[in-house]
Chain A
Amino acid sequence: MFPTQLMMVRKSKKGTVRSVFLTEEGSDYSSSVINLFSASIGKRIEEIEDSLKALELKSQNPKIVKGLALLMFRMSRIGPPSLLDPITVREVIFSKTRVPPASPGERDEILEAVAKEMNSSVAEIRKAMYADKESEQILLSLPEITPDSLSRRFNSEQIETVMLKAKKIEITSPFNMPRIIRIARRLGLLYRATERDAVEISGPLSVTEGSERYGSSFALFTRQIMRVGEWQAEATVSLRDGKREKEYAYTINSSVSEYSDLPEEENHYGFVQSKEFVKLENGQVIFDYTFNVEGKSVNILVTRPRYYQEDHFTVRSVREQGINAEVFCIIRGNEKCPSGAICFKDSVDWIRAKEFLETKYSRKETNVERGPVKKIEEISEENRKKIFRHLEDLYPDSQAMVDYIEFMGLDASKTLEEAGFKVIWKGLKILVQK
């Protein structure tokens, strides 16, 4: 996406806005920018920027030149003007100049001393002093790109740039809605079905205030849905209208898509990507996967810690309607498993997840959630060991230990004692000690 100053739109009095795209007639812009870059190999960025300013001045629309140049810079290879390490060069220079030289002669003497110390020349030292500064970098090579392809990239970026200012998007798609919703969810966005048989995508704060905070997520969302066939989106975007912000409707559809579909995602050990909504009293939910246990379908959401609380509420609402649902949370690095979550490190361990669901939802164990039903003595030796080992892992988080035991359908006090822990009650709180 471009910086918003490079956004090119036409606003209507009716409150709609549309992007100004580069068409074939405008391909001269792309050719000119590519030519300028081709002629600039070996030049400093600062020099190229000066040439671009001259080109902007000559062109009808300087924003197009700026945008195309930005794309070219992103795709080009640039490098420093000197092989000396600039940080070391500066370190040596400043270590010799406690008091700044008052005359050019004194300055040159210092530079000569630095050059000598670094086995280099004064000219090279001058070049290397700020060789890590972006404007000093040298253009080394260019991408192989046609004017047409550059224009198309420019257009995609224009769409994303408008979406940076979006507050919400209403989207319809006859065949690909589950996939679109999954894209939104993975970007941390929320959704709800609207009356128009569409889905409204927004961010958590959108319910209390119109925040532009999710603009970059909307822009990424747009980039990703361009790969999905047949959809139409109407975004509410907030743009400046004189001194104040005004909301506009921005409509695009899959005809702007110039890319092919993504390959179908694979199935994992019987986990099938959900394609249908689960209807609820207050709307509908699309899950990531469904899994079948003895004829019972279990709906699965896969989430990340920061989205966990919201997904937990969703799953709870679904369960309240008698529908089986689980939420799995992926944790990475040093992230903590959120309170109440079933967590996997880095990615879902499908075999473990399968075992878990089969244990929980098989006919024999259907009531596993309904409170303590089993005694620890009834559990096999091997499973007891596993449970005790996991309790050790959870210690000293007393609440987590108790919850885990209850989740396994066991009596908390007895199991803890059996595992070698002491249980102390403090009011309603349980405290586990060794």
Chain B
Amino acid sequence: MQDLIRRESNLPATDYCITMIKLTYSRGTILLEGVEDDHPYFVTYDNRIGAYRSPAFRYAELKNAYPDAIDNVFENKKVEIAHNENLRSYQKMAVEYWSKNDHKGIIVLPTAAGKTHIGIDAIAKLSVSTIIIAPTIELIQQWREKLISVFNVEIGQIGGGEKEIRDITVCTYDSAYLMAEELGNRFQFLLIDEVHHLASERFIEIARLFASPYRMGLTATYERTDMLHEKLQEVMGGKIFELGYEEISEFISNYEIIRIPVDLEPEEEEEYERNRRKFISYLRKHRITMRGPWDFEKFILSSWNPEGREALIAWRKAREIAFNARVKIDTVRYVLSKHMGEKMLIFSEDTSTSYLISKEFLIPCITYLTPGQERKKYLDMFRSGKITALATSRVLDEGIDVPDASIGIILSGSGSTRQFRQRLGRLLRPSQGKHSILYEIVAKGTSEYGTSRRRRKGVPDSVDDGQEE
């Protein structure tokens, strides 16, 4: 029978060894055969299929509980890889801590500290099937290129329009989430870059549905204001190693942060004030105090009534005026002229500003709307020096590695320190004689000033113009 293929018996022949415990992966869970009543607490009887079941991330614990079980979860394939990278002392120490922690845990190092090298060393040390999950297409492409050059093997990619699975594969968070049930027993080593994103309600399921016994998380910004990072303890092994900027200063580029205050044009100022007043009076009337994201959410939720909606629109309009003040474009022009030929990244909070910059200065723009291949092309052009500037919204905030990028311009951004540090980190990769400058262009007399002050909290070496909100 050509089309009828039968592999490995599920027939009563298996009844002969019915007492043998067998572990099988199924859609983000492990099915257990032959288990008696005294099973670990996380194993549950599933009467829908008549079998015991456990979440897949408990696989390593199941292996400890049932060391002699027939294990059908992974194909235990060894991957032949090695590398010649020289690790810095703290990078070696990080890998050592992780190894001692049963090959689990999260490593926290500042941006530009070389977390990728730590990941590479861990991959080589384990030499098992590995998936590297990162938030953006740029990052997975960057990982892929690095891994190809270091290991000289073919690397798979899932995400950005590709679905090529190999022993070592890079994958976006979104694709990993969507395909977690399918991929969960393909990779023994789960390496998560920018692991703070994993803690979100949606992405945490990736870690829960993967059975991978070895796990490493990498980040520069572990703690989240919503405290969701605490969830990572259970699925990734928690924070096991951390160093700050001060401890690795010899390995990163010198930098300064310069805030450039700009004036709104009179009609912009008037428009800004009008909208701001509308917004503030709504808040006062409804006794809403803005102390953090929760309060803002409360405001958003209340804004489905006509008055609230008007207040929300007014807030958006005021913000838009501050973010996109006409004079900011001229200031970008000034910075571009001052640093002509130097490699420059221009960050904004929204995509429309990025496209505006792109059209005004004829520089490529990378946003979440840019197709994968085009993103890669622009980054390659930027790295090779065929272009010297890139405009971007938030997609290049994290991880992308362009060692000789030395100038950054923040046209607009949130009040998040994490975002600010990540953007600064894009400029800190060390290279010969490099001195980096991060410019913040901020509209004077607007709430953008407060936003700027909030995000710079705790970041050393920033030059303030002393201007108040």
Contact = CB atoms under 8 A, between A and B. Distances in A.
Do the two chains bind?
yes
Interface of A: 53, 56-57, 60-63, 87, 90, 93-103, 107, 110-111, 126, 129-130, 133-134, 188, 190-192, 202, 204-205, 207-209, 211, 213, 243, 280, 282-283, 306-307, 309-317, 319, 337-345, 349, 352-353, 355-356, 369-371, 386, 390, 393-394, 397, 399-400, 403-404, 406-407
B7 A341 contact: yes
18 contacts: A90-B374, A94-B363, A94-B381, A107-B361, A129-B359, A133-B355, A204-B27, A205-B27, A207-B44, A313-B31, A313-B50, A393-B5, A394-B5, A397-B7, A399-B7, A403-B7, A406-B9, A406-B13
B369 interface: yes
Interface stretch (B282-290, B332-340, B428-436): B332-340
Contact of B8 (A63, A211, A400): A400
Q: Is the interface of B mostly helix, strand, loop or mixed?
A: mixed
Contact of A130 (B46, B49, B359): B359
Contacts of A103: 333
A349 B3 CA distance: 8
Contact of A352 (B4, B11, B49, B355): B4
Given A102-B336, A314-B49, A340 B7 contact: yes
Interface residues on B, range: 35 or more
Contacts of A342: 4-6
Contact of B10 (A62, A192, A316, A337): A316
A349 B42 CA distance: 41
B1 A110 contact: no
Contact of A370 (B8, B12, B378, B381): B12
Given A208-B44, A397-B7, A100 B361 contact: yes
A192 B48 contact: yes
Given A94-B362, A126-B359, A205-B208, 5 more contacts: A90-B364, A207-B48, A209-B208, A343-B6, A394-B5
B353 interface: no
Contacts of A386: 1
Interface in B16-31: 24-29, 31
List the 5 closest A-B pairs by CB distance, nearest first: A340-B10, A309-B26, A317-B50, A400-B7, A403-B9
A93 B10 CA distance: 62
Contacts of A190: 46, 48-49
A211 B180 CA distance: 14
A98 B378 CA distance: 12
B242 interface: no
A404 B6 contact: yes
Contacts of B369: 133-134
A262 B50 CA distance: 32
B228 interface: no
Contacts of A310: 26-27, 31, 48-49, 51
A394 B7 contact: yes
B31 A340 contact: no
Tell me if A's interface is mostly helix, strand, loop or mixed.
helix
Contacts of A399: 7-8
B181 A306 contact: yes
A272 B1 CA distance: 23
Interface string B383-425: 0011111000000000000000000000000000000000000
A107 B5 contact: no
Interface string B55-75: 100000000000000001000
Contacts of B53: 204, 207-208
Contact of A407 (B9, B49, B363): B9
B363 A345 contact: no
Contacts of A204: 26-29, 53, 181
Given A93-B362, A390-B1, A394-B7, A306 B182 contact: yes
Contacts of B340: 99, 102
A213 B3 CA distance: 34
Nearest to B54: A208
B240 interface: no
A309 B184 CA distance: 14
A392 to B, nearest CB: 12
A19 B47 CA distance: 32
A110 B387 CA distance: 15
Interface string B350-366: 00000100111111100
A97 B209 CA distance: 47
Nearest to A201: B48
A371 B10 CA distance: 13
Contacts of B7: 337-341, 343, 394, 397, 399-400, 403-404
B50 A98 contact: no
Given A63-B304, A100-B336, A313-B51, A306 B27 contact: yes
A265 B203 CA distance: 39
Contacts of B294: 243
Given A204-B27, A371-B13, A100 B388 contact: yes
